[in-house]
Every structure is written in C-alpha cells, then in structure tokens.
Amino acid sequence: MNSTVKQRILSVVMALAALGAAFFGANYWRANYLAGVAMVSLPVPKSDIPPYTLLDGSMFEQAEFPRALINQGTGYAISADDLAGRISAGTLLAGEPVSVRLAASPADFRLADPALEVVSIPLEVVSGVGGHVRNGEQVNLYRLAYTDATETADGIVTPGTAEVTLVARVLVVAVLDGNGQEAMRYEKAQAADQNQLTTNAPQQPQPVKVLVVAAPPQIVQSILDAIARTKLGEELLWVTLALP
C-alpha cells in the first residue's frame, strides 16, 4: 500500500472521527440546552381552582414550560411559594401556568386579611370623630342607649338612664363618602388644590358616610346587631379612635 492510499484512508478516518465528535457534541449541547436553558419548571394547579380561593402550595405541582414564558416578561408565577397566601382573582386552569395578575394579595383583592370579614357601617361626621378617621387606624364602636323616665301608679318616678356599651375594637380598611368613593379630608383636598395645574374648580372635602372595617366573623355579628338597633330603635352607634 503506497503512501497516497494510506493518506486517503487516514483522511477518511479523521473525517469520520470529526463527524462523530460533532454529532455527539451537538446532541450533548442540545440536551443540556433544553434541560438548562430552553425549559423551566413552573407551578400549575393540580385541578381547576375557582375564583376567590385562598391559595395553598399543596394545590400546585411543577411542570416544564419554555423559558421564553418568563424571559418575555409575561408575568407567570415561578414557584408555589409565590402563590401561597394569595387569592385567585379568576379561574386557574389545571396544568396551566398561573399569571400573577390572577393571584392577588388579600389586601388588594378584598381590603383585608382572608381570616377577617369586611363590613360597612353607616356613619355621620358628628359620631365619627368629626370625619378624622383614616385607613389603617383602629376604632372603638360604642352603642348608646337611653331609657325614658317612668312613673308608677303611686307617683314614684324612676329617672331615665343612659347606657354605653362597647361593641368592638376594629381595623378601618376604607373611609367612604355617600357615593362609595374615598372620603377626602380637608387637608387632603387643600393639598390637591395646590397641586392642580388646570383651572378646574377646587376639590371640596367630602363628608364621611361609610366606614368599612375588618373583624372576625363573630365580631361582625355584634356590629350588625348594633347597626340594626340604631336603625330600628332609638339607639346610636358612636365611633372613637382607639388608644394605641
């Protein structure tokens, strides 16, 4: 076998070796790329989750999706821990990645912690600290009752008595006007006027008409009982700022 033939054989062997190395390298790179770059593990519901559900990590399992879902800023939850403690703002479909817009924080979705019930209380400025109540403050709700004087048949007069009963101490989550909008206090309206850049009429402070509070269900029952007494009887519901 002359040197020319040997050289050709060696060239073929080297070409086959290079081709094999390239094929192996391509497959190795592809496998690692798909596993580490192109795919990502995201939490998905094990079954359909209806709206207004308090989410828990046990409701989800991990599934593989293209990494482009999160690289493009589409806003999907990365782990089940990100969803725990939130509330579903829509139906979360089984096996589908969860948009963070459909997993709202309890405070944003329903004004208060999921363990608390939220209730609105009709209020007048005079009985509501002159309207100086803000979100996040704690207030005391009192029930004021008065019994008229009575006189027996033999002329004995029993004077009327006043009774003040503490109904509850609760957290304020919203202060609204008569239209259900945020009640604007005087200093806030004044600041808004100073920041106005147009010739619109000055904003006027709106009186407080509704106080929205959050409390455990049993406390809410007591509040509703007090409201019923004020609406159907001659009692009053009074609000004070609670001591720190």
Percent of the chain with pLDDT over 70: 70
Sequence-distant (6+) residues with CB within 8 A of 39 are 64, 65, 66, 67
**What is the 8-class DSSP label of residue 184?**
P
pLDDT band at 155, cuts 50/70/90? low
The answer to whether residues 85 and 115 touch, using CB atoms and an 8 Å cutoff, is no
With residue 177 as reference, give the H or E element that holds it: none
99-113, pLDDT tens digit by residue?
Answer: 988 999 887 888 888
Query: Which pLDDT belongs to residue 158?
Result: 66
Cα 139 to chain centroid distance, Å, stands at 22
CA 17-19-20 angle, to 5 degrees, is 65
pLDDT band at 177, cuts 50/70/90? confident
Q: How far apart are CA 33 and CA 71, in angstroms?
A: 15
Query: Which pLDDT belongs to residue 108?
Result: 81
The answer to whether residues 145 and 165 touch, using CB atoms and an 8 Å cutoff, is yes
Which of the residue ranges 146-150, 171-175, 192-196 has the most confident prediction, judged by mean pLDDT?
171-175
Q: Residue 225 forms beta bridges with which residues?
A: none
Pairing of strands 210-215, 117-122: antiparallel
Q: How far apart are CA 110 and CA 100, in angstroms?
A: 16
Query: Which pLDDT belongs to residue 40?
Result: 87
Look at domain 38-108 and name its CATH class: alpha beta
Chain-wide mean pLDDT for the chain? Answer: 81
Query: Which pLDDT belongs to residue 110?
Result: 82
Q: How far apart are CA 229 and CA 142, in angstroms?
A: 12
* pLDDT (mean) for 131-158: 81
Q: Which residue has the higher pLDDT, 98 or 2?
A: 98
Give 225-240 as a DSSP string. Answer: HHHHHHHHSS-EEEEE
pLDDT at 193 over 50: no
pTM comes to: 0.65
User: What are the extents of the domains in the chain?
Assistant: 38-108, 117-241
Tokens of 13: 């062997």
Nearest Cα neighbor of 240 from 136, 170, 162, 161 is: 170
Query: Which pLDDT belongs to residue 192?
Result: 44
pLDDT at 22 over 70: no
Cα 76 to chain centroid distance, Å, stands at 17
Nearest Cα neighbor of 172 from 126, 218, 208, 225 is: 208
48-100, pLDDT tens digit by residue?
Answer: 999 999 999 999 999 998 887 776 666 899 999 989 999 999 999 999 999 98
Cβ neighbour number for residue 102 with a 10 Å cutoff:
19
